[in-house]
A and B are shown apart, each in its own frame.
Chain A
Amino acid sequence: MKTFISPSKLLKQHSIKDVIINNAIYIVLFFLFLTIVLIDPSFLSLKNAGFILSQSATRMIFACAIAGPIVLGGTDLSAGRLIGMAGLITASLLQSPDYTARVFPNLPRLPIWIPILLAMIICALFSLIHGFLVAKQKVAPFIASLGMQLVVYGLMSVYFDAVSDSAPIGVLDEKFTGFAQNGITILGFRLQYIILYAVVVVALVWFIWNKTKLGKNMFAIGGNIEAANVSGVNIVFNMLAIYVMAGLLYGFGGALEVARTGSATNALGQGYELDAIAACVVGGVSMRGGIGTIKGIITGVLLFQVISYGLVFIQVNPYLVYFVKGAIILIAVVIDTKKYIKKK
């Protein structure tokens, strides 16, 4: 049961040096934040905080979703494309009824929950197939998800080409964009509804991870699959459940992403899985499986968003932004490896 020791417990037994090493990522990020504020103090405003939170909302959902397969000891490269597929489906079914060039001109005005639910179910089905390949057929998660990524991209591109001749699907129903973008303004801080949905999703995932048998089994499988098997955990069922949960969240998050940005193409979602994985790693989720906390993941997403928003804000050379993000990921991975060695 070694795997259940949280990193914070490990910390208490060690010296200040260890504390610094273990928190190096946060220290680096704090200095980056400080640099941004020093260059342009107007960065510290409620308005910017509101934007950063609303930009983080869907990313939190994606990170919480992808964290499941990672904690199981795998990964999910198909996440971005599934998010894109969900976005395309909802966008194509929820265009403004006043727009004459809709992709489905005869479609009645649907209540927004129908396409969202449809997108969630379709994503869940693909994730179920993916989970089946990994859990039952023992395909390496990297390869299985790479294959799924291409399959999903191919299918969504065919759909995109068939319904809209590869032109962006835009002019969405205001009910739908409002569902994500509307909100309330309190003292200059704009709380968009999309943030509330993210909070609900995060709470739900936290509950599943920490308070249910499924969550405990997930950590057990990720920590040591043989041990979990011997102690009577139904490996296949639990893994499938985690994958399906991830799929449902990709679907919901993809729909929100398109409501947030107002249009979709088949390029939607490209590379999102890497952002989500990076946020997880920075937040302390181990790529070796079995370790991770929701708190860490949320911190990871927020830190990444503050930095990428901040670097644009102070007008850093855009090429340099890649460098900074890459360096942050590398530091996080080094720390993860150090923790892993300690665990052994």
Chain B
Amino acid sequence: MKRLLSVILVCVMLLSLAACGSGNKPGPSQSSTPSASQSAEPTKPANEKKPVIGVAIFDYSNNYVTYIRNSIMSVGGDKADIQMVDAQNDQAKQVEQIDILLSKGVDVLCVNAVDPKAASTIISKAKAADVPIIFFNRSPSKEDMLSYDKCWYVGTTPEDSGRMQAEMAMEAFKNDSKFDKNGDGVLQYVILKGTLGHPDAEARTNAVQETFANAGFKTELLDVQPGDFKTQTAKDVTDVWMGKFGDKIEMILSNNDAMLLGAIEAAKAEGYFSGDASKVMGAIGINALPEILPAIKDGTIIGSILSDAYSEGLNIFTMAYNVATGKDVYEGVEIKPDDMKAIRVPYIPISKDNVNVAEEMYAKALNK
């Protein structure tokens, strides 16, 4: 009886899993089998087989990378057999997955490395199998990139997002005197930093301060605290700031939007960000997530810096498809590569006037 019960229990759990899985979109699920892909386009000659593209993602649960992987699937899902794997933020697991993809005989690898320092290992494996690699999102070193002629990179310049955030803050502070609450001409601000030691967190935080310094803009940095890129941690940190600095804070700059959402929630309890004209506080995020767009639209916050996941996904697929089908890798790619064969997709500052740019990007990325 006991055994029977537990067997039933396991069956029910597996069934519910299968039910959840079947309702899934093409993005996170595994690719179609080769036989299915052949039957999908019967008009093409049999020798023109779809190229097989292996895509190694560092962590499926990462927001931004999810938009990239959805974009890759929506751009290329019909043109190629895309095999996507999730390393769950574990570099050892990713190396094993790349071994599997290589032994399956993929035509090209797209790799979102867990640890960019592990790129040399990945490159030597691909080199041995003579498979080209497109790295993306997390950049290998220039030395590694130049060690293999068939490897390229698609990503951004992380410092740019911090620089644009600082520029947006300076513009808002200069153009709207309400932000200078104490009238001293100096911007009192706090930074919500991402996870300590994370390359983006460090690059963005440093770039903000450097941009202010280079522009000769007078600021007073009240505090920098890590919010681990998470809403909940950021909310708790901002509670402390409300208790410690309160109305002294003129602006909150966050390394990402998820943390800014938490900060806004904490400040709301003190009357900020709720339409009260006497309670002023500026806020700027990074990512321009769909959740933050309404707040930008109605003027609650100043803005955010959009990372263009769709263009990244499009360029990754285009380059992978080009090398797999024997064309020039940069064919159809509008951005010029830099000296380490990297295509750097620009960030776009999003404020009240151009929220539609972000909305259109998400519509394309999700193929809606």
Contact = CB atoms under 8 A, between A and B. Distances in A.
B261 A170 contact: yes
Contacts of B24: 158, 161-162
B242 A161 contact: no
Interface string B1-38: 01001100100010011001101110110000000000
B291 A169 contact: yes
Given A171-B294, A181-B269, A45 B366 contact: no
Interface string A313-344: 10100110000000000000000000000000
Contacts of A151: 13
B244 A313 contact: yes
B265 interface: yes
A197 interface: no
A93 B265 CA distance: 19
A278 B239 CA distance: 22
Contact of A161 (B66, B235, B246): B66
Interface in B273-300: 289-294
A168 B240 contact: no
A157 B269 contact: no
Given A261-B262, A262-B235, A45 B243 contact: yes
Contact of A137 (B2, B13, B269): B2
B346 interface: no
Interface residues of B, number: 52
Interface stretch (B129-137, B223-231, B316-324, B326-334): B223-231
Contact of B63 (A55, A132, A166, A177): A166
Contacts of B67: 165, 167
B14 to A, nearest CB: 11
B357 interface: no
Nearest to A49: B243
Interface in B22-66: 23-25, 27-28, 60-63, 66
B213 interface: no
A216 interface: no
Contact of B231 (A42, A51, A262): A262
Interface in A39-67: 40, 42, 45, 47-48, 51, 54-55
Interface string B191-234: 00000100000000000000000000000000101100011100
Of the candidates A168, A260, A267, A318, the one having the most CB atoms from chain B within 10 angstroms of its own CB is: A168
B297 to A, nearest CB: 10
A48 B292 CA distance: 28
Interface of B: 2, 5-6, 9, 13, 16-17, 20-21, 23-25, 27-28, 60-63, 66-67, 70, 196, 223, 225-226, 230-232, 235-237, 239-240, 242-244, 246, 257-258, 261-262, 264-265, 268-269, 289-294, 366
Interface of A: 40, 42, 45, 47-48, 51, 54-55, 99-101, 129, 132, 136-137, 151, 154-155, 157-159, 161-162, 165-171, 177, 181, 190, 192, 257, 260-268, 308-309, 312-313, 315, 318-319
Q: Which 3 A-B pairs have the closest CB atoms?
A: A262-B265, A170-B291, A166-B66
17 contacts: A47-B242, A101-B291, A155-B20, A157-B61, A161-B27, A161-B28, A165-B25, A165-B70, A167-B66, A167-B289, A170-B291, A260-B235, A265-B230, A308-B236, A315-B225, A318-B225, A319-B196
